[in-house]
């Protein structure tokens, strides 16, 4: 890798030929000297945890159970088979179109062992998203689950290769491979006799490409590095006290950064067991709780927690096994937090994290005000957090909303091949501008942070500001609503008014503005925050990381008002 130096004010930052901004050399050395970074690859970190040959339970899915020793053997065989039978080589990027299966875990860990770089795409991504991301990363491989429910992912993969000319090495899981492609089971068989993968990867090169939640233009890809990504997982597990007695139930997409960094890697660096459900519906979660008795349940975003709270079956299930009920991703309504603890007896902890790195977590012994009203504190003592005034690099006082900015030993220093965006998204001294509205709060002698919404997800209705997430959280409590997205629509008098896009529950009668307003007012929402238009959709348009594409919705309502 050819590297030159770029000096920005007081910070010296390494930039490679692809435009990847990395950690300054002096900082890398300091992290390693302090033992924060371990000087090993991510795969070596996982193997150094010394659970690889252990009979401890590592993974449970609907298809079966695997010990650490069994999982390690499968990963090794798959890695060997990949390099022996395909044209993929260390450093190549590979796309993932796979759900919550054991094969997905083997494919991810096996790719790491083979020196490949997973691009953490999801099965919900279509040919357009996969094609754009494959082109941006130069991906040469594509791992596809043939039997993913309701989607022909093999046809999608073929369309990407045909139209984009990328991801030509196709590996098919749980199905028959078309001519020229490879089947997972064949690669496992080949791995029995193939040589071991080469060691000693470049520790300063990306090990995983995670997708940012951004919605504009060029894909924003967070290049996670070996040592910082491993530290992220180790520190999360340490903060939660995970050990071989821990069982983590994870019902959401495992190939998302939350699945990997909140569940999979920290659990397997701790000797813990991971239970995956194929779907994130409440019945699947309750079934897994009854069968496996997990003691940790991370649910991101809070909408899933709300559905759990509202489901009629929930009170009939013994939830006493849950010692850590972790909710994050959005601001949790205070009423919901109260009910989760008081009605269901779930020990609530809130977190906030991002594909770019920084994680916050509320302490388990913190006062209820901290656990219910904030996302806590950074998980590492070496994390640095600032709350800047919008559009400035001046910190705001305690309790005042501003932009959350972060820097530390596992927060990226730049997006992959996004030089122009990096100049806006990072300060000259390496702080990442998250785009999140936050406030620093001092409670009982501690410093904690609350997340108040997104800077660009605020509707300016005259002199009043409406945070879309607050309204959405209340809308989805209506039994007729499966999902909701509130966006700004242009208004000549007030500048903007709120429009609610709704996906209705199956068989539900349509909601109009009046019926929605009645529901929201019954929830105690201020009148000025009520949506003044309702649009119904079969499904929301999605960004390249599976989030609602609000930019598309704003353009849609603006066009409708124009006609």
pLDDT tens, position by position, 423-457:
889 998 999 999 888 999 999 999 999 988 778 77
123 contacts 98 by C-beta, under 8 angstroms: yes
92-101, 333-342, 479-488: segment of lowest average pLDDT: 333-342
Q: Which residues contact 465 (CB under 8 A, 6 or more apart)?
A: 458, 459
CATH of 11-30+38-222 given 3.40.50.980, 3.40.50.300, 3.40.50.2300, 3.20.20.140: 3.40.50.980
Diameter over CA atoms, the chain? 73
Q: Is the pLDDT of residue 219 over 80?
A: no
Region 306-328: what's the mean pLDDT?
A: 92
102-106, 130-134, 410-414: segment of lowest average pLDDT: 130-134
CA distance 178 to 162: 14
Region 323-337: what's the mean pLDDT?
A: 80
Cα distances (angstroms) measured from residue 307 to each of 163, 345, 440, 473, 559: 40, 16, 30, 11, 33
User: Positive or negative CA dihedral for 246, 251, 255, 257?
Assistant: negative
Average pLDDT, the chain: 89
Q: Which residues contact 264 (CB under 8 A, 6 or more apart)?
A: 105, 108, 250, 254, 274
Q: Is the pLDDT of residue 259 over 70?
A: yes
Q: ∠ at Cα 411 (409, 414), nearest 5°?
A: 125
449 contacts 282 by C-beta, under 8 angstroms: no
Q: Are the folds of 229-409+419-454 and 458-562 the same?
A: no
58-72, 221-235, 325-339: segment of lowest average pLDDT: 325-339
For residue 331, name the pLDDT band (cuts at 50, 70, 90).
low
542 contacts 548 by C-beta, under 8 angstroms: yes
Which range among 19-33, 270-284, 531-545 has the greatest average pLDDT?
270-284
Look up the pTM and report it: 0.83
The residue ranking higher by pLDDT, 319 or 14, is: 319
- Position 12 scores a pLDDT of 36
| DSSP 8-state code for residue 529 | G
Q: Is the pLDDT of residue 15 over 60?
A: no
Q: What are phi and psi of 245, to 5 degrees?
A: -85, 0
CA distance 231 to 219: 25
CA 376 to chain centre: 18
Q: Is the pLDDT of residue 156 over 70?
A: yes
- Position 213 scores a pLDDT of 56
What CATH number has the domain spanning 229-409+419-454? 3.40.50.12780
User: Positive or negative CA dihedral for 352, 357, 358, 363?
Assistant: positive
Region 362-385: what's the mean pLDDT?
A: 93
- Position 220 scores a pLDDT of 85
Domain ranges (residues) in the chain: 11-30+38-222, 229-409+419-454, 458-562
- Position 199 scores a pLDDT of 75
Q: Is the pLDDT of residue 9 over 70?
A: no
For residue 17, name the pLDDT band (cuts at 50, 70, 90).
very low
Tokens of 313: 């079956």
What CATH number has the domain spanning 458-562? 3.30.300.30
- Position 455 scores a pLDDT of 80
Q: Is the pLDDT of residue 251 over 90?
A: yes
Q: Which residues contact 242 (CB under 8 A, 6 or more apart)?
A: 248, 266, 267, 270, 272, 296
């Amino acid at each position: 890798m050819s590297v030159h130096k770029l000096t920005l004010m007081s910070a010296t930052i390494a930039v490679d030929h692809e435009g990847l901004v990395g950690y300054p050399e002096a900082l890398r050395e300091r992290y390693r000297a302090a033992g924060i970074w371990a000087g090993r690859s991510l795969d070596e970190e996982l193997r150094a945890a010394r659970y690889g040959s252990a009979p401890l339970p590592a993974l449970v899915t609907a298809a079966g159970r695997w010990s650490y020793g069994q999982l390690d053997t499968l990963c090794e065989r798959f890695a060997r088979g990949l390099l022996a039978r395909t044209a993929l080589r260390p450093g190549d990027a590979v796309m993932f179109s796979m759900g919550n299966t054991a094969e997905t875990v083997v494919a991810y860990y096996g790719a790491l062992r083979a020196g490949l770089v997973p691009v953490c795409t999801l099965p919900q991504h279509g040919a357009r998203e996969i094609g754009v991301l494959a082109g941006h990363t130069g991906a040469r491989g594509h791992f596809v689950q043939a039997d993913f429910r309701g989607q022909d992912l093999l046809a999608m993969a073929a369309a990407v290769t045909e139209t984009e000319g990328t991801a030509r090495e196709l590996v098919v899981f749980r199905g028959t491979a078309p001519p020229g492609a490879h089947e997972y089971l064949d690669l496992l068989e080949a791995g029995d006799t193939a040589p071991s993968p080469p060691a000693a990867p470049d520790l300063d090169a990306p090990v995983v490409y995670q997708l940012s939640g951004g919605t504009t233009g060029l894909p924003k890809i967070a290049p996670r590095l070996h040592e910082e990504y491993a530290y992220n997982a180790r520190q999360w597990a340490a903060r939660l006290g995970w050990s071989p007695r821990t069982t983590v139930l994870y019902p959401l997409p495992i190939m998302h950064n939350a699945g990997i960094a909140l569940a999979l890697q920290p659990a397997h660096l701790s000797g813990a067991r991971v239970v995956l459900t194929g779907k994130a519906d409440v019945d699947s979660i309750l079934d897994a709780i009854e069968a496996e008795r997990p003691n940790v349940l991370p649910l991101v975003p809070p909408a899933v927690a709300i559905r759990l709270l509202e489901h009629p079956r929930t009170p009939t299930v013994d939830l006493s096994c849950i010692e850590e009920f972790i909710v994050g991703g959005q601001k949790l309504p205070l009423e919901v937090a109260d009910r989760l603890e008081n009605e269901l007896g779930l020990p609530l902890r809130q977190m906030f994290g991002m594909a770019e790195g920084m994680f916050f977590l509320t302490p388990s012994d913190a006062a209820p005000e901290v656990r219910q009203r904030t996302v806590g504190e950074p998980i590492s003592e070496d994390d640095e957090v600032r709350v800047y005034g919008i559009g400035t690099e001046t910190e705001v006082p305690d309790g005042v909303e501003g932009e959350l900015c972060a820097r530390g030993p596992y927060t990226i220093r730049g997006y992959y091949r996004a030089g122009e965006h990096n100049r806006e998204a990072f300060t000259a001294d390496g702080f990442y501008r998250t785009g999140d509205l936050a406030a620093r709060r001092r409670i009982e002698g501690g410093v904690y942070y609350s997340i108040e919404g997104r800077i660009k997800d605020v509707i300016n209705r005259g002199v009043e500001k409406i945070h879309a997430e607050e309204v959405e959280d209340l809308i989805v409590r209506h039994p007729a609503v499966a999902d909701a997205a509130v966006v700004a629509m242009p208004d000549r008098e007030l500048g903007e008014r709120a429009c609610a896009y709704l996906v209705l529950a199956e068989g539900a009668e349509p909601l109009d503005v009046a019926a929605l307003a009645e529901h929201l007012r019954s929830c105690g929402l201020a009148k000025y925050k009520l949506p003044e238009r309702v649009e119904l959709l079969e499904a929301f348009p999605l960004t390249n990381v599976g989030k609602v594409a609000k930019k598309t919705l704003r353009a849609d309502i603006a066009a409708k008002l124009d006609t």
